[in-house]
Each structure stands twice: as C-alpha cells, then as structure tokens.
Structure 1
Amino acid sequence: MVQRLPLKLSLGLIFLFELLFFACSDSNVVLDETTNFEKSGWFQKQPIRFNVEISDSTSSYATYVVVRQNNAYPFYNLYFSPSILDAKGTTIQKGLAEAILYDPTTGKPKGAGFGDIYEKKFLIYSALKFPKPGKYQIQVAQSMRVDTLAGMVSFGLRLEKNERTK
C-alpha cells in the first residue's frame, strides 16, 4: 500500500526543492529583494530602497522588477520611477518606466496568479552600467499621481550580471 503525503506537505516540499535549486544555480544574481506593502498600498511619498554592492564596474547588469498586485488594484498599468544613487547620494541615473499589469481591452491580468494575487516580472534595464565599484542604492517611487496606490502587494528588484561576450 502506497502512503501519500498530505497536499500541504507535498506542496511545501516542492517549494523547498525549487527554492534550493534556484538559489544555488544563479551565480550571476547580484540582488534579489522584495518589499511587501501594508494593506493600504504603496504610498507615493515613500520610495522603495534597495542597497547593492557592485564589485565589477566593467560588466553590465540586467535589471528586473517584480510587481505583485491584487484585484483591488484600480489601473491596468503602473508607472514608476527608478533612480540609481551612488554612495554619496548623488543620482547617477533616473528614469520613468511603465508596467502593463492588465490587458487594457479584456481586463485580464498578465503574469502568473494564485487566488486574487498576480505577479509579473519586467525588464527595466537590459545593460545597466555602474561607473565604479562600490555601494549603490536603487530607489523606486510609484508615479501614478495618487497618494496611496491600493492593491499593491509587493515590489521586488532583481539585478543580474550579464555574461560577457568575447
């Protein structure tokens, strides 16, 4: 007779194995961090800050954001402003980016979902360069022109060192 594990335990073990596999197999990942929001959402006057130490300024870095929102999110898109600051707090790069979270015609969410929470990964810089090795801060502010952006669950940043071509 085959003894089966409870569903929750089985899913937990699968998640643990995936976490260990992906954590050990991604040597080019310099930063992979997520900020969770309070239930009220993302406040416009509170940018998210990610600290990163760059040891190789000759390489370029692919920069991704991972947006998680729920059904309370009122827009089909998200405008946000990423800024790169050096150790002295000087802005060395600033931009405006747009993430399309829902299909504008059908209203269906893009990305993967579980329950009423959806997650989507977006490339914002394909080859970000840092002027010299050292500590940097990447700040991201929501630019939706509302004080509190409801329905935002979390916002993550992933920085991957690009492979050099010879």
Structure 2
Amino acid sequence: MPVIIKNSLVAFIILLLCSCDRDMVFDEYKEVGSAWNKDSIVTFEFNRQDTLAHYNLFINIRNNNNYPYSNLFLIVQMQQPDTNITKVDTLEYEMANPDGTLMGSGFSDVKESKLWYKQNISFPKPGNYQVSIQQAVREPGDVPGVQELEGITEVGFRIESTQ
C-alpha cells in the first residue's frame, strides 16, 4: 500500500475517533468491585461555570451476566456548589429483556447501559457540583435491601451538551 494512502487512512481514523464524542462534557467511571454494597456511595465531582447552557445527564452502568435482576433501583443526589441544596431522586431502570438477556451495548457478557438521569437542564450556579449514586435494589418483601448487588462492575456519570 502506498505511503500516501496509509497516511490518509491513519489521519481519517484519528479524525473519526476525535469527532465521535464532541457532545461529551464530562464522562467518568468508578469501579465497585465484584458486587456493589448498598452502603457504598459512588461520587462524582465536576465543575460547571456556564449557567445558560443546557445539558443531558446520564448514569452509565457496566454489568455482567452475574446481575440477577431485571431492574435496577438507584438513589441519586446532586449537590449544588456552596449551598446545602441537594436534589434527591429515586430512579428505576430496566436492565433485562423479558427473556432474561441483559440490555445494553457490548458483545461479551459485559454490557454497558446509558441511563437517562436528567434531560435538557442547566446548572443554576457556577461552581463545583457533586453527584452521588447508591444502589437501592430490594428483594420482594425485604425492607433492608440487597446488601451485595452482584454483577455491577462499574458506575459512571456523563454530561452531554445539547447544543
């Protein structure tokens, strides 16, 4: 293969990889081990200065075939900068199809699910925000909840620009 074609191909691939995710503002994952303890809170911190721009927020979950449930329940808290104002949401997401196969993307037994958290929001104050995510899965009739949630390997938080 001529050198000019090779160089053009490499430049095209680099351009393609760099332009695929231009809406991403923040994207981070944290490992939770082989099981996510119900007392383990995964926290993300990020800085937002623009109070006029709008964003979509996502919770990203990486799980494997050891995940035994069809749904996932989460408690998500977002704390505003320099205040005691914390917004708390209890969320439920479908994680498996009716036949029991896991939803999400991926070719192996590890699946990645991009779950909507908030849509088209702006951040009311400039500064450092903190988002905390805790699993809240319960067996039917079990008030305390699942102590060790098997199958979740990583929890992520993502912010995308809507522009």
TM-score (norm. length: structure 1): 0.78
Of 101, 108, 125, the match for 1:115: 108
Structure 1, unaligned stretches of length 5 or more?
A: 3-13
SS in 2 for 1:73: coil
Aligned length, in residue pairs: 146
1:116-148 CA deviation, whole Å, 9 max, x = no partner?
211121111112332211111011111112111
C-alpha displacement at 1:67, in angstroms? 1.1
Q: Which residue does the alignment assign to 2:26? A: 31
* Contact 1:42/1:148 (8 A) holds in 2: yes
- The Cα offsets for residues 54-76 of structure 1, whole Å up to 9 and x where unpaired, read as 01111221001111111111101
**Contact preservation (8 Å) 2:103, 2:113:** yes
Structure 2 CA distance for aligned equivalents of residues 75 and 67 of structure 1: 14
**What are the superposed Cα offsets for residues 7-49 of structure 1, whole Å, 9 maximum, x if unpaired?**
xxxxxxx9xx57x74455544422100111212x111111111
1:83–1:91 Cα contact (<8 Å) kept: no
% identity of equivalent residues: 26
Computed over aligned residues only, the root mean square deviation of the Cα atoms, in angstroms, reads 2.2
1:60 aligned onto 2:54:
yes
Q: Do residues 85 (structure 1) and 79 (structure 2) align?
A: yes
Q: Check conservation: 1:63, 1:158, Cα contact below 8 A.
A: yes
Secondary structure of the equivalent of 1:114?
coil
- In structure 2, which of residues 114, 122, 127 is the aligned counterpart of residue 129 of structure 1? 122
1:32-47 matches, cutoff 5 A:
32-39=27-34, 41-47=35-41
1:52 Cα deviation from its structure 2 partner: 0.7
Partner SS state of residue 31, structure 1: strand
Residue 160, structure 1, aligned to residue 138, structure 2: no
